[in-house]
Amino acid sequence: MSGLQTFDPDDLYCAHCHAPAAGMCAGCGALCCADCVELRMGWTRQRAVCRLCLADEPARPSARRWRPWALGLVAAGLAWVAWLWAA
């Protein structure tokens, strides 16, 4: 047996400031304390997102949600008008 011993911390620590961790980031899964996360509204409930994930977040995340629906409705409307025109 060598003179080295494994290190087992008695508590889980924040990946950003090394304070005791409160939970995991919803974006990347890193352990974070309450001071290093921000609560953001998800589809149905709030999510705790860390600093790095907030920096990577686009400026307008809501546009990403409605744009495919709007394009689909416009395409369906155009198809319906073309069908009426042909009939």
Over 80: is that where the pLDDT of 12 sits? yes
- The single residue listed with the structure tokens 């080295």 is 4
Residue 22 tokens, joined:
């409160």
Specify the 3-state DSSP secondary structure of 69.
helix
Domain ranges for the chain, please list them.
Answer: 23-86
13: three-class secondary structure by DSSP? strand
Q: What is the dihedral of CA 56, 41, 43, 55, to 10 degrees?
A: 0
pLDDT tens, residue by residue, 13-57: 888 898 999 989 988 888 899 999 999 887 788 889 998 888 876
Virtual torsion, Cα 66, 72, 73, 75, nearest 10 deg: 140
Cα Rg for the chain, rounded, in angstroms? Answer: 24
